[in-house]
Amino acid sequence: MNNNKFSFELLHADSQTAARRSRFHTPHGPVEMPAFMPVGTLGTVKGLEIEHVRQTGTQMVLGNTYHLTLRPGEDVVRELGGLHDFMGWQGPILTDSGGFQLYSLAKMTKVDDRKAVFRSHIDGQLLELSPEHAIRIQEALGSDVAMVLDHVIGLPAPREAVRDAMRRTIDWAERCRAAGRRDDQAQFAIVQGGLDADLRVECAQKLVDMDFPGYAVGGLSVGEEPAEMLQVLEATVPALPVDRPRYLMGVGRPEDLLQSIRRGIDLFDCVMPTRNGRNATAFTDHGRIRLRNLKYERDPRPIDENCPCAACRRSMGYLRHLFMAREMLGPILLSMHNICYYQRLLADARDAIEADLYEEFCKSKLSGWAKQEIE
């Protein structure tokens, strides 16, 4: 990593697995890895004031290029001090490039080798997003890490379609690299190739030749089975540099996080903790608690007596009442709990790696989650 504003330290490699304990230095502070980023698509982690996000133990958050350029517009964000000042978060920020929207908004999107053209989901206006434009937007936003524009397609897909998207992703990565102007923003490349191990390795090798400061594995959690995702990681991760961060995009079940760390991934993001929190579901070491269940109506226990979050200072009976009464405090508290749970899980994973106990840690957690719900 040549930019002196960014550096990556590999602190310890687990003796039994490919899990790594590492530290990624950015202009807004270090990120202890493995790490999880809550999703702040529009400059906010849904329902949470930024101090609440800090209290969960979060180190780094994610914003989205496509959504922020539509509302309020990157020029507005730049004029108001950049994304850090705009949202009040002075820690590291990573911005996605808009590539995922090529998949999620496929019916409103046209893609060719030059660019993607979206029809806004807000007002129907056209938005052209080329690799160069994606980088200009992210530089205006001022994130610490800018993701290159990639072409994400749904799975399963014909091999020719997967190869075409992979080829376009490689070309766009090179164009993003050439378009970058800020020395206080690192670009991460994104490995595509569907479920085809050969295509994934080919893509990784060509991106590694471009010498990016970090690498992501993208195009997963788009319809494939968890076992297929893990097979992709087993093929792809060994082709990535040891001395750069490895980021698995958009994957967020706790079991998937631990299995991916086991295979050498350092960084994650997902809407799962907040989306589940808004829908009355809490994550615990014993599986998910669905608080709308009648059996919690008179339950005096906290979700987790060892959790320091505000939700766990209340009873499950009270939290259930908030959801049944449609009080907005319920989704807020449960979102805080779920993010806090994810951050505690990743902190414990870091400790387990340092102690060469990650395999035992992983087995213990997976066994607890297998119940899915507290009896």
Whether residues 217 and 339 fall in one domain: no
Measure CA of the first residue to CA of the last residue in the chain; give whole Å. Answer: 49
Q: What pLDDT is recorded for position 21? A: 98
Whether residues 91 and 40 fall in one domain: yes
* Residue 149 DSSP class: P
Q: Is residue 3 part of a domain?
A: no
Whether residues 122 and 235 fall in one domain: yes
Whether residues 306 and 206 fall in one domain: no
Confidence at 216, pLDDT banded by 50, 70, 90: very high
Q: What pLDDT is recorded for position 372? A: 64
Q: Is residue 12 part of a domain?
A: no
Residue 96: active-site member: yes
Contact 35, 261 (CB under 8 A): no
Whether residues 168 and 264 fall in one domain: yes
pLDDT at 228 over 80: yes
Contacts with 280 (C-beta within 8 Å, 6 or more apart), sequence order: 290, 291, 292, 320, 323, 330, 331, 334
372 against 70, higher pLDDT: 70
Whether residues 119 and 185 fall in one domain: yes
- Phi, psi values for residue 310, rounded to 5°: -65, -35
Neighbours of 182 (CB within 10 A): 16
Average pLDDT score, the chain: 95
Per the structure, the complete domain to which residue 307 belongs is given by: 277-369
Whether residues 53 and 167 fall in one domain: yes
Residue finishing a domain among 221, 240, 270: 270
Q: Is residue 374 part of a domain?
A: no
Share of the chain above pLDDT 90, in %: 89
* Candidate list 96, 256, 266, 285, residue with the active-site label: 96
Whether residues 214 and 283 fall in one domain: no
The two tokens of residue 63 are 């914003």
pLDDT at 88 over 90: yes
* Digit-coded pLDDT (tens) for 259-298: 999 999 999 999 999 999 999 999 999 999 999 999 999 9
pLDDT at 373 over 50: no
* Digit-coded pLDDT (tens) for 314-338: 999 999 999 999 999 999 999 999 9
Q: What pLDDT is recorded for position 374? A: 45
Q: Is residue 246 part of a domain?
A: yes
Whether residues 264 and 325 fall in one domain: no
Number of domain units in the chain: 2
Q: Is residue 21 part of a domain?
A: yes
How far is the C-alpha of 30 from the C-alpha of 180, rounded, in Å?
A: 22
Confidence at 375, pLDDT banded by 50, 70, 90: very low
Q: Is residue 158 part of a domain?
A: yes
Whether residues 183 and 304 fall in one domain: no
Q: Specify the amino acid at residue 211.
A: D
* Candidate list 144, 150, 266, 269, residue with the active-site label: 269
Residue finishing a domain among 246, 270, 294: 270
Residue finishing a domain among 249, 270, 291: 270
Cα-Cα-Cα-Cα dihedral of 70, 42, 226, 347, to 10°?
150
| Ordered alpha helix ranges (H), the chain | 50-55, 65-70, 74-79, 82-87, 101-104, 131-141, 159-179, 197-208, 226-236, 254-262, 272-278, 316-324, 329-354, 358-369
Q: At 46, which CATH number?
A: 3.20.20.105
Whether residues 266 and 282 fall in one domain: no
Whether residues 75 and 212 fall in one domain: yes
Q: Is residue 375 part of a domain?
A: no
Q: Is residue 4 part of a domain?
A: no
Query: Nearest-CA neighbor of 261 among 4, 80, 20, 2?
Result: 20
